[in-house]
Amino acid sequence: MTKKILIVDDEPNIVMSLEYTFKKQGFEVFIARDGSEALEILKHHIPDVILLDIMMPNVDGYQTLSYIKESESLKHIKVVFLTAKNKASDIEKGLKLGADKYLTKPFSVKKIVSEILELVT
């Protein structure tokens, strides 16, 4: 069965790179530019994993993750933060909110693929 990933980030170059990489890995890829778009997509598609930035316009990653983890129909989805926020307090907050992993930018595409595959296989 095809694995599904939702990439939520407001940086077009990052989205383009990750979309290409995960499609090459055989994933069905959904894209959102902020948390509100992500939540709209989640009304119609349930991915296996969400790659989620924190600092975005409108609805940020923390708010998005909180909504996901409070929803009975969504809380099972694996969520990986991918963000420039790299302080220990940021990492702690993200993991406390329920993120399965916390990765920081700049990043290695190879490492992200490895981390995501570890979660969904």
- Domain with residue 30: its CATH number is 3.40.50.2300
Q: Where in the sequence is the domain holding 25, given as residue range(s)? A: 4-120
State how many domains the chain has.
Answer: 1
Q: Is 33 left (phi over 0), alpha (psi -120 to 50) or beta?
A: alpha
Overall pTM surpassing 0.75 (yes/no): yes
* Measured distance CA(9)–CA(80) in Å, rounded: 12
pLDDT tens-digit profile, the chain (121 residues) = 899 999 999 999 999 999 999 999 999 999 999 999 999 999 999 999 999 999 999 999 999 999 999 999 999 999 999 999 999 999 999 999 999 999 999 999 999 999 999 999 8
